[in-house]
Structure 1
């Protein structure tokens, strides 16, 4: 077993890392090894060369790769597989996390207005779309969490869903009255069989993420909103931002979104600040060429 394999085994066993996470770590580590040779034996000089190898990458991508390598060398030292930690020689790009796209309240209303009109009849596809939309914006679910939601996660009475998020971490997510109503309507017309709330004949047994993205963008187009402005993740961002605007506590928001690190949730404070700056620039009298002192 190689040092990389041992490191990945540790991530799986001790941190409960998901398969996708392990694959991402493997790609980053094996890519670095292809660039500079055996990682387990590499010194600081070799690691410093990665800066050139990563020069064309986005800062966020290079920062992720650098983080994977630092963890790898920390593991080697902890396990006694090497005495020194050369991780300090790794490039330290400063990633700039872009502010997430956020829908306005008017756009959300237009999107829901169209979905509700289409679901006013008895067409299962329209009712399903409304339920999907309500859970994306009303509960802030990730696309993968939503499409893979098992029937067992939907309780009969309690207004909560049990969701399995990144890294296999389970959390309780509140479901508002509107979402519960939409979900109940969908379950009443849902095709029999299968163990998922939103079943499919696909190999996975549930609606695919790709199809969910298509459905949301198609709805946006019908609602008169540019499709590139809307996606399941944008609706999750809108859920978080609009809750923060309404006075939600950042720690509560972290729990609702399933973020392991509060730093991830803090991006929404920047979104809110950006909104306030835009509001001042748009509405302040001086911004409109008003009177000067």
Structure 2
């Protein structure tokens, strides 16, 4: 691809992402992923001499999906790439940059439904107690872990919390989720107690200058998602937790444990901020498996 064509493509993708952010409020992570997906598609077109983004037909898109399958790329990543491509051509057609949408009839690859890994209640308790709370950083981490397990927030939502989003009096946190959608989530007494202790004892020691970020580093700024994920892994090691961990481990545990204790699926959907109930229903498989294990362990005729 020539330098001039590459620059035009980059500008076109940037304009599309700007429009997407204005209309749908996508996160930086999603925007970056879409940018990568579109550039990968453009590289495929260039290396296979299939034209440019604005000159393809459905055949080229079908060949690209086939090529991804031959490369062993997962259906999940291909679905995301196809989502980026479809949104791009919807934008291109609306701006009359192309005469038709070549992606309109493409079907998303079917992907197996992955069951999220969770922790037992005993493992969660061990993880929460791992931080040594006489240290301000570890007291901050204890408060973060407690809030995470009490609310089921995404890690990104947690690290981006500001003090003004939390109502101590009402025991609620106002969360800004995907697509800039807001939801109110209760925290519970235990999480509120640790949060108040962190704000009273640890946060003033970490604060370098006035800021509204709730959870801050030694430099007085907000944590990154990756930094807090490393903290979770560290405490899992301290607690000798050998179960599979992911950045959303406590979110999965929150959802599973609520269902195990009788929570309604619709309520759980609202708490997690899922736009589609089918996304929430995956946790019923985890909860059902756990109930079967409990039945097998404790019923006299199991």
TM-score w.r.t. the length of structure 2 is 0.82
1:290 alignment counterpart: none
Residues 89-140 of structure 1, C-alpha deviation per residue, up to 9 Å, x if partnerless?
646321223211100122123333445xx43xx4323322221111111111
Describe the shift of the 1:181–1:89 C-alpha distance in structure 2 as closer, same or farther (beyond 3 A): same
Would you say 1:176 and 2:191 are equivalent positions?
no
* Match in the other structure for 2:197: 185
Summarize the Cα distance change of 1:84–1:130 in structure 2 as closer, same or farther, 3 Å threshold. Answer: same
Partner of 2:18: 9
Conserved 8 A contact 1:50-1:90: no
Contact residue 136 and residue 236 of structure 1 kept, 8 A: yes
Match of 1:154 in 2: 166
Q: Counterpart of 1:244 in 2: which secondary structure?
A: helix
Residue number in structure 1 paired with 2:286: 271
- 1:253, 1:265 within 8 Å by CA — same for their partners in 2? yes
Work out whether residues 159 and 174 of structure 1, in 8 Å CA contact, stay in contact via their aligned partners in 2: yes
Deviation at 1:146, TM superposition (A): 1.6
CA distance in 1, matches of 2:261, 2:97: 51
Tell whether the 8 Å contact from 1:48 to 1:89 is kept in structure 2 after alignment: no
1:30 deviation in Å?
2.0
1:103 counterpart residue number: 119
Corresponding residue SS for 2:17:
helix
Contact 2:168 2:192 in 1 (8 A): no
Deviates more, 1:187-196 or 1:171-180: 187-196
Pair 1:68-2:101 in alignment: no
CA distances 1:165-211 after superposition (whole Å, capped 9, x unpaired)? 23333322211000000001111112244332221245x81123333
Contact 1:140 1:239 (8 Å CA) reproduced: yes
Matched with 1:18 is 27
Give the conservation status (yes or no) of the 8 Å contact 1:216–1:231: no
Q: Deviations over 1:228-277 (max 9, x none)?
A: 63454101110011112222222221221122333322221222233345
Residue 162 of structure 1 aligns to a residue in which SS?
strand
Secondary structure of 1:34 counterpart: helix
The CA distance in 2 between the partners of 1:211 and 1:4, in whole Å, is: 30
- Is there any run of 5+ residues in structure 2 with no aligned partner, and where? 1-7, 46-50
Match 1:163 to one of 162, 175, 178: 175
Report the CA distance shift for 1:114/1:10 in structure 2 as closer, same or farther (over 3 A): closer
Change over 3 Å in CA distance of 1:177–1:6 after alignment to 2: same
Counterpart Cα distance in 1 of 2:245 and 2:15: 41
Gaps in structure 1 of 5+ consecutive residues: 288-293
Aligned mate of 1:248, from 255, 263, 286:
263
Q: Which residue of 1 aligns with 2:108?
A: 92
Residues of 2 paired with 1:270 and 1:70: CA distance? 31
Task: Decide which of 65, 74, 87 is 1:51's aligned counterpart.
Answer: 65
Q: Is the 8 A contact 2:162 2:213 kept in 1?
A: yes
Q: 1:124 aligns with which of 136, 141, 148?
A: 136
Check conservation: 1:99, 1:267, Cα contact below 8 A.
yes
Aligned-pair RMSD on alpha carbons? 2.7
